[in-house]
Structures are given as C-alpha cells and as structure tokens.
Amino acid sequence: MAKSICSTGLRWLWLAVVVLVLDLGSKVLVMNHLQLGESLPLIPFFNLTYAHNPGAAFSFLADKGGWQRWFFAAIALVIVVALLVLMYRSNGKQQKLNNIAFAMIIGGALGNLFDRMVHGFVIDFIDFYVNDWHYPIFNLADSFICVGAVLVVLEGFLSSPKTTKSKG
C-alpha cells in the first residue's frame, strides 16, 4: 500500500525545488553579468568571482582529465535517489530536521548535477578571503549541501535515542 506524500518526508521536496531555483538563478545572474575569471568586490572579505569547476566541491579533483564529470554526476544521482528513499520511508513529522536537511542536499546536488550535464563543469562564484588567502570558490548549491550535512549531524546529537523496554 502506497503512502501519501504528506505522511512522508517527501512533503519537504518543495524545499529542494527552492534550493535548485536559487542555485540555478544565481548562476545565471553570474554568467550574464560577469566574465569568466572576473571578480566583483562586495565587502572587504567577500567577492563574487566567476569560475568554472570541473571537480567536486571546493575544486576537489578539478585538475584531472575529465572523467570526474561522469563520476561526480553518478555520485550525485546515487545520493539523490538514496535520500529520496530515506525521505519516503521516514515519518514526515517526526524526522522534520533530517528531511529538511535531505531536501537541501538534494536541491544542491541537482543544481551541481545540472551544471555538469549542461556545461561540463560547475559554475562557482562565492569567494571568501583574508588578505591574499582565498577559500576555494563555491556556489549556493555547495552551501546548501554543507548546511544540510551539518543539520544531519545536529539531528544525530539532538534526537533522543529510542529505548526499548525489555520484559524480564
């Protein structure tokens, strides 16, 4: 018997759509208003810098020969499917924080997957720095994925362990 979406964690998929729209919209704005490599200073420690990243988050494996595009696309698909299954199997009300986190990760993963499939690389533009040291440039999808991962860890610490009463 199939469950209704509202009784599962899938009720939070609207958040994945919001994340995806914010991510793709921000990337379109950057592509339309900056040239590749151009940097727009906003505040003393933050620039918008248009970059292409053929690797994973924070340019991991960016200097490899191109195989990583398909590898990271496959990983993204596996993660999205696994999280959708977890959301479907969960109780939408009791595991709220996990489902919100999963939706954020799904939206971010789909945003970067879209870039990989359409462009062959991920569009990055968030550039934090201190003096001459720059953190690897990233995007909103990466941010949502990281926030979602932190929420999953927090949920692990915040949730009360389930206790079973033994008869004896």
Active site positions, annotated: 124, 142
* Crossing angle between the packed helical segments 13-33 and 96-119, to the nearest 10 degrees: 40
- Phi and psi at 60, nearest 5°, equal -60, 125
Q: What is the radius of gyration, based on Cα positions, of the chain? A: 19
* Crossing angle between the packed helical segments 96-119 and 67-89, to the nearest 10 degrees: 150
User: CB neighbours (10 Å) of residue 14?
Assistant: 11
Amino acid identity of 16? A
Distance in angstroms (rounded) separating the CA atoms of residues 166 and 81: 36
